[in-house]
Structure 1
Amino acid sequence: MSAHGANGTRPHLRRGTSFGDESSLIGRRRQLAEAKRMLRHSRLVTLTGVGGVGKTKLAMGVADETRRAFPDGVWLVELGALEEEGLLPQTVATALGLRDQSARHPTDMLCDHLRDARSLMILDNCEHILDGCAALTDRLLRAAPRLCVLVTSRQPLGVDGESVLSVPALAVPEPHRTLRPAEAGHYASVRLLQRRAAEASPDFTLGAENLETVVRLCRRLDGIPLAIELAAAQLRTLTPQELLRRLDERLELSPAQTTADLPRHETLRSSIDWSFDLCSPGEQRLWARLSVFAGSCGLEAAEAVCSGDGIPEERIFDLVAGLVDKSVLIREEQGTQVRYRLLETIRQYGAERLADAGEKPALQRRHRDWYLQLVDRAEAEWLSPRQETWLARLQSEHANIRTALEFCLSEPGQTQAGLKIAASLWFHWLCSGLISEGRHWLGRALALAPQDTVARGKALWVDGWLSVLRGDTASALPRLEECRALALRLHDASTLVHATQYLGGRALYEGDFRQAIGLLAEAVEGHRAAGDRNGLMTALYQLTLACAMSGDPRAADVGKECLDLCNEAHAPWSRSYALWALGLHLWRQGEPSRAAELLRDALNARRVVGDGWGIALCMEALAWTAASAGEAERGARLLGAAEVVWRSIGISQSGFRHLAAGHEGAEIRLRTDLGDRRYAAAVRRGAKMGLDRAADWALYGSSASTPWAPREAAAGQ
């Protein structure tokens, strides 16, 4: 199977703004060549070295120059912000574009996905979860014989067959040697400082008047790239002579000494201390406070979490700009958004400063409170035109959401907030293909908070529904029954109607349409009475589907109400599910062409958000309509393409009883029309098309040059 992501995108190497320019690899040609040589002879190469020495940038350079050898993808898995080792497989799966929606362990899904793939995977910053990285890497390499893994870590993994390349500091001029300006460029540390100094201060030039000072700076910084970059950023405001004097004072070394007298990690620590001292008091405080964020953050989050107690909110922007100028913060553009990130070494330093100031507990609570409010806003605005925006926002904030949840579940008295966050993210777990991780957090929170609360009730029905969506209806039943009993004890109508709805949803997925229709109809009226639009939309969708699959003609009216609600809310993702259910109704009514029109409209919307589950459903149903319309070759190809998508999310449609009859009927008809040999060949062709091409083919017909244009859908069509 080709290692394509479930969202249909071609595998690619993620790049941050700190990567990708030639100066990132100054002085690394020898190590670059050696790492490439190692990868040709070893499937596991680990780049080791002290913090700040440039392991990540070297790994990115290796990936850039070897990507042609890995046609199935080059993947960067950033692990610096990962706090819980148990989530390592899910993190890798997400980085590879996999939608983890099955009941299988994510490691098993990764093994299957990579089994035949010639791919390169970069595991970046592994030292804090070394055992987990070693175990997962060993398992993947055994399961996938053409996979190669490139690791960055301060120490080796210790896995059989591992090749280790120690990344040294950049070359510095020898002590007591007098250099001419033309000779200084032979030393990588000088070239890097010169390049970064010119970027910080365009008037900077390296000449006879400052050469000795620059050389001494490079020696003092021991050739450590991060230390050099931090120092060079100060040349916006200081001269090289002032920089050297301040650094000498910080390191407390005599002119006759060099940093060779210090371990390199102490040199880096001292240079970061020195950079911290050069910041204003406000910048120092903000640097420390920003360390509570995992990965990156936006300006709005920084203002909300880091202001107060000496930093007015209106000052945050100027302080952020100052830290960017000093190369402490990295500015990254993600679409139309700007986010800010601390390099992991810099973040760890800031976290120490925050703890020393006694501010860590308060900032962690403020961080948690901000993300609790963010999740509440996202859920409240879910049925709206902002669905795609919220999905993208939550995906970019995923590392911070994990950090907030970990705080809730590890600090006494905070578990109820953890229940609220994990449960309110139901649509994020579903749409982002993170069902396994959602159940992980819900399971931990429910185990820690057994008290009867409304928050527990919501967590129970969300966990039960996620179990159903993984095809694990057996595990869902006790959760949903407990939710119903709790709702009755609390006399909480909202929890009760949700328990009723998802018990109905479970019956639907079990193929018990009669029971499903009764429970879902009751839930629809309950949500309608409460004015709960989110609940009403999902219950109407499920009721439409139950009616459609059982041949109940009420599907048309119920589906029209669901579609009207989504259209009024301008909610594209929700609308796609209403269209899918209505499409199945029309197919069951013997109108495959009109059904296919609605299904293509639904598929188009789901591709936009990369909804692997929804794409699989649409491809599957389009195969059924093609079979019913006598388009046998097309139908068989679509079944083959659908099977690829089902496997990419770790699910077999055969596990869902409500879909079984449609799939089996289509397969029988297609085999009859084509014969076993032609049918098998068409299925193989569909599987080989790749998701992008198959989806285009499903949308536009046999020729992508004639785009399909959806017309306005209505329930009466």
Structure 2
Amino acid sequence: MTSDSDVRRRPLTSYVGRAEDENEVRRLLGVGRLVTLTGAGGVGKTRLAAQVASSLTRDFPGGVAVAGLGELRDERLVPRAVADSLGLHDKAGHTDLDAVVAYLRPRRSLLLLDNCEHLRDGSVGLVTALLRDCRDLVVLATSRCSLGLAGEQVLTLPPLAVPDDEITTAEAALTFGAVRLFAERAANVLPAFEVTEGNVADVVRLCRGLDGLPLAIELAAARIRALSPSQIADRVEKNSAVLASGLRMPVERHRTLRATIEWSHSLCTETERLVWARCSVFAGQFELSAVEAVCAEDGGLGSLAVLDAVDGLVDKSVLARIDGTDKVHYRMLRLLREYGGRRLAASGDELTVARKHRDHYARLIAQAADAWFGPGQDEAYERLMAAHADIREALSWSLRAPGESSVALEMATGTIEYWVARGAAWELRDWIDRALDVAPPETQGRARGLAIAALCAALHADLPRARRRLAAAEAIEDEDAAPYIAHASAFVRMLSTEPNSMFRAAEAVRLFGERGDVRRQMHPMFIQGVALAYRGDLPGARALLGSMRRLCEEAGEHRYRSMALFGLGVAEVCFGGDLDEGERCIRAALEIDLRASDVLSAAYRVDGLAWVAARREDWVRAAELFGTAATLWDRCGAEPDVAVTMSHRMFHQATRDALGEGRFQAAFAEGRRRNPHDALSGPPSVPIGEPAMLAPLTPRESEIARLVAAGLSNREIAARLVIARRTVETHLQHISHKLDFVNRTQLAVWVEQRDAARGPL
């Protein structure tokens, strides 16, 4: 299971234990199906929930999923966030909630739903449906208030324990969580720091003054490079006293946290305060280029000043640094973002900054569209993935702001391939539909938007809606929309097995070609090629799909190249062509998909290799490959749709008939246990079983730990295991919590020591 949450994106810092609280959460999870951790912001709900969830993987064989809602500001996207955490693609004829329920219903699973308070209605609706329809599901939620559902077990999380006045030694003080957290975080900033007999009284005074709130302690610890514990404690006490007279808050620790944040803000330079406020517009993680786009001013604040401010905010723990493969990203904890947002609103710059934010992500989408058909495709995809929360925010703002709906429509229709690859075509369809609903009838690009909306509806086999959108597009006299209309029409006709799909696809290919838009020629070319094979023109199909393949190779593009290869394979295997050549094409397509961790495409390709085996009457291998493909379909919550139903059903049934039900099910089950890479090399030479476990890790975590020890990157691990990269990151987060490691080197050394002690496997 995967995660797109705040939990996954937090840095790998050590966890200061809350043993009693952990045990109580585990106890409650054993007696109820919904446990909600409540408490003030900054008290550590997310961290405790993640720690508990990562320790319970053996109790939930169906998996532990972590879905963070902190980046969302739209109730409608709550089910999508959970679907993303499970790695599910959206599915024809099903909502995101339907897909999540279908996946979780047969499994005993734990779902951690983090940061529910600002999306309470959406969270309540989701949890109600899941607990009703998924009998073996347990939900652990974090929220500043309870969800208010029947049977909910609520645990209000207290701050970390702090010493009383009688504690006077460093050794005794460090047995308290608040002091230990301050000591560890301060040592991260100033490695020479430690709690001693000389400073223990001031450290205790400081932790007491901060009421043991983890976030407040971390913010205070960030000042240790410039101030002593005594100086920090003095300033905390002074700031708290000043603020107390102006605050009327029912819970004392709310005042303490507010005072600490205000104090951190007061210690920032004027430029840092400005950048803090403006960065509050970001919903998720962001690059430096995004900060510069939002914060820099012509003739005012320059890029170098912005960089210095970012560096200062990282040093003060206002911004968290996230190290990626080749780029650094930043993110802001939600409480600090909320505070910055209030400052931004008070400044009067909120509208200007929001528009700069939207414009930056509109440019990002346009740049991705330009780079998609070429060697920059992977980088474009990764940048959009990392920016997804802010793309959503930019779209949402454009729909709310008067006169901006046309930009939302342009953004939503800019790179449809990204949304499909992400498995979120339904979400794209929703954004386009919402933009069309609020855009004036005369909006430029409306006909094109309607045609792309029709294409999205067809992707979900919603053919009636697709036809309505097509009719609306055709009713608008807009020559610019003609190739888009032809493309959508061809796809709708192909899915409904109507005549003339080939001719409409050829029209789209011609019109896009006249505009030099090779990227948008690709899918219509695939439709036309398969339609030619279906009509018996195998030479024509080979020529067209071969041309598509060459265009992709010349451009250095791989996703459409995989599609072209698969089309060639289908033509050869299913329409009387060269079986060996068909197998080579499908295998080559699968190799591309496995490198890209494209699970949905890989499912089609492995299914196609099962057809090849069935054509050869290698029935056992066919059944095994159908089993491997079924595992892939399940991983992304999909199934062979109408585009391949005919071939899939024909070969699947032939295999079942040839083997008989018992032998078919045995081979099918064996295939389910195999890695899709085995489809490229034949059956494995030794039986596939679970990897030797490295307690306390699960089998999958053990497998990933060994790959880390072997020097593989997250991307390479994802490709090897055919899982999403965000799934790898989630597993590594769980491993870090279990083993209290902060980097990959520690993990690699630990694995080598454990395996050496175990001896030869």
What TM-score do you get using the length of structure 1 for normalisation?
0.90
**2:374 corresponds to which residue?**
384
Cα drift, residue 188 of structure 1: 2.2
Please list the CA deviations of residues 216-247 of structure 1 after superposition, one character each: whole Å capped at 9, or x if unmatched.
21121111111111011111112223223322
Pairing partner for 1:582 from 560, 564, 568 = 568
Q: CA RMSD in A?
A: 2.4
Q: Is 1:314 aligned to residue 304 of structure 2? A: yes
Partners of 2:685 and 2:345 in 1: how far apart? 58
User: Match for residue 229 of structure 2?
Assistant: 240
Distance verdict in 2 for CA 1:187–1:659, change over 3 Å: closer
Q: For 2:445, what is the secondary structure of its paired residue? A: helix
Letter in 1 for 2:487: Q
| Equivalent of 1:231 in 220, 224, 231 | 220
The question of whether the paired residues in 2 share the 8 Å contact of 1:527 and 1:535 is answered with: yes
One-letter amino acid of the counterpart of residue 568, structure 1: E
Instruction: Provide the rounded CA distance (Å) in 2 between the counterparts of 1:664 and 1:187.
Output: 63
Question: Could you say which residue in structure 2 is the equivalent of 1:594?
Answer: 581
Is residue 604 from structure 1 mapped to residue 591 from structure 2 by the alignment?
A: yes
Letter in 2 for 1:252: A
After superposing the two structures, state which structure 1 stretch, 293-302 or 444-453, moved more: 444-453
Q: CA deviation at 1:635?
A: 1.6
Per-residue deviation, 1:260: 12
Q: Distance in 1 between matches of 2:547 and 2:243?
A: 80
CA deviation map 1:448-494 (0-9, x unaligned)? 114234422222122111111112222111112222332xx13x2x3
Between the aligned partners of 2:443 and 2:123, the Cα distance in structure 1 is 38
Q: What is the SS of the residue equivalent to 2:196?
A: coil
Q: Any stretches of 5+ residues in structure 1 without a counterpart?
A: 6-10, 707-717
The one-letter amino acid of 1:441's match is W
Amino acid at match of 1:75: A
In structure 1, distance between residues paired with 2:471 and 2:456: 15
Q: CA deviation at 1:684?
A: 4.1
> What aligned pairs does 1:152-551 form with structure 2 within 5 A after superposition?
152-174=142-164, 177=166, 179-252=168-241, 263-308=252-297, 310-486=300-476, 489-490=477-478, 492=479, 494-512=480-498, 514-551=499-536
Alpha-carbon separation, structure 1, partners of 2:315 and 2:6: 24
- Whether the aligned pair in 2 keeps the contact of 1:623 and 1:635 (CA below 8 Å) is yes
Q: Residues of 2 paired with 1:699 and 1:559: CA distance?
A: 22
**Given the superposition, is the C-alpha separation of residues 357 and 632 from structure 1 closer, same or farther in structure 2, using an over 3 Å criterion?**
same
CA gap of 1:236–1:101, structure 2 versus 1, over 3 A, is same
Matched-pair contact (CA < 8 Å) for 2:161–2:178 = yes
Asked whether the equivalents of residues 620 and 638 of structure 1 are also in contact (C-alpha less than 8 Å), the reply is yes
2:35 alignment partner, SS class: strand
Q: CA offset at residue 82 of structure 1?
A: 0.6
The answer to whether the Cα contact below 8 Å between 1:49 and 1:167 also exists between their aligned partners in 2 is yes
Structure 2, unaligned runs of 5 or more: 688-761
Output the CA distance in 1 between the equivalents of 2:252 and 2:150. 30
Following superposition, the deviation at residue 676 of structure 1 comes to 4.1
Higher deviation after alignment, 106-115 or 60-69: 60-69
How many corresponding residue pairs? 681
Distance 1:533 1:218 in 2: 62
What's the CA shift for 1:284?
0.9
- 2:405, 2:13 → 1: CA distance? 45
Question: Shift in Å at residue 13 of structure 1?
Answer: 9.5
Alpha carbons of structure 1 residues 200 and 281: separation in structure 2 relative to 1, 3 Å: same
1:444 CA drift (Å): 0.7
Partner AA of 1:244 in structure 2? A
Contact 1:481/1:499 (CA < 8 Å) preserved in 2? no
Distance 1:362 1:340 in 2: 22
Q: Tell whether the 8 Å contact from 2:447 to 2:481 is kept in structure 1 after alignment.
A: yes
1:102–1:650: 8 Å Cα contact kept in structure 2?
A: no
Q: 1:58 is paired with a residue of what secondary structure?
A: helix
Shift of the alpha carbon at 1:568? 0.6
Q: Say if 1:470 and 1:651, in contact at 8 Å, map to a contact too.
A: no
Deviations for 1:346-365, whole angstroms, at most 9, x for unmatched residues?
Answer: 11111111111111111110
Aligned mates of 1:63, 1:350 — CA distance in 2: 31
Q: Measure, in 2, the Cα distance between the counterparts of 1:253 and 1:474.
A: 64
Length-normalised TM-score, structure 2:
0.85
Whole-angstrom CA distance in 1 between matches of 2:561 and 2:185: 51
Task: Return the alpha-carbon distance in structure 1 between the equivalents of residues 350 and 238 of structure 2.
Answer: 29
Distance 1:121 1:664 in 2: 34
Matched, 1:147 2:157: no
- Contact 1:408 / 1:418 at 8 angstroms: preserved in 2? yes
Task: Specify which of 644, 662, 673 is matched with residue 659 of structure 1.
Answer: 644
Distance across 2 between alignment mates of 1:277 and 1:254: 13
For 1:682, give the aligned amino acid: A
* In structure 2, C-alpha distance between the alignment counterparts of 1:705 and 1:219, rounded to whole Å: 60
Q: Deviations over 1:379-401 (max 9, x none)?
A: 11111112222222211111000
Kept in 2, the 8 Å contact 1:46–1:165? The answer is yes
Give the whole-Å Cα distance in 1 for the aligned partners of 2:616 and 2:251: 77
Distance in 2 separating the partners of 1:508 and 1:16: 41
Out of 663, 682, 695, the residue aligned to residue 676 of structure 2 is 695
Q: Does 2:16 correspond to 1:25?
A: yes
Give distance in 2, aligned partners of 1:613 and 1:202: 47
Equivalent residue letter for 1:627? A
Q: Give the superposition deviation at 1:647.
A: 4.7
C-alpha separation in 2, matches of 1:405 and 1:681: 49
- Which residue in 1 is equivalent to 2:663? 678
Distance 2:251 2:98 in 1: 46
Cα distance between partner residues in 2 of 1:465 and 1:612? 22
1: CA distance between counterparts of 2:65 and 2:309? 34
Q: Deviations over 1:364-413 (max 9, x none)?
A: 10000000000011011111112222222211111000000110111111
The verdict on how the C-alpha distance between 1:594 and 1:228 changes in structure 2, with shifts beyond 3 A counting, is same
Q: Is the 8 A contact 1:25 1:58 kept in 2?
A: no
Give the partner amino acid of 2:384: L
SS at the partner of 2:65?
Answer: strand
CA contact (8 A) 1:12 1:73 kept: no
Measure the CA separation in 1 of the matches of 2:172 and 2:237. Answer: 25
Determine helix, strand or coil for the equivalent of 2:29: helix
1:86 pairs with one of 64, 72, 76: 76
Aligned to 1:68: 58
Taking the aligned partners of 2:332 and 2:209, their CA distance within structure 1 comes to 24
- Per-residue CA deviation, residues 198-230 of structure 1 (Å, 9 max, x unaligned), is 222233333344333222211211111111110
Q: Check the 8 A contact 2:105/2:135 in 1, yes or no.
A: yes
Equivalents in 2 of 1:601, 1:355: separation in Å? 54
For 1:699, the aligned partner's letter is L
- In 2, Cα distance between the equivalents of 1:51 and 1:21? 19
1:613 maps to what in 2?
A: 600
Query: Are the counterparts in 1 of residues 16 and 180 from structure 2 also a CA contact under 8 Å?
Result: no
Matched residue SS, 1:478: helix
Say whether the 8 Å CA contact 2:5–2:68 is kept in structure 1.
no
Cα offsets for 1:135-193 (capped at 9, x unmatched): 21121122222222111111111222221111101222335x46233332233222222
Amino acid at match of 1:470: H
2 CA distance for matches of 1:14 and 1:216? 31
Q: Residues 676 and 204 from structure 1, CA distance in 2 versus in 1: closer, same or farther, beyond 3 angstroms?
A: closer
Maintained 8 Å contact 2:91/2:99: no
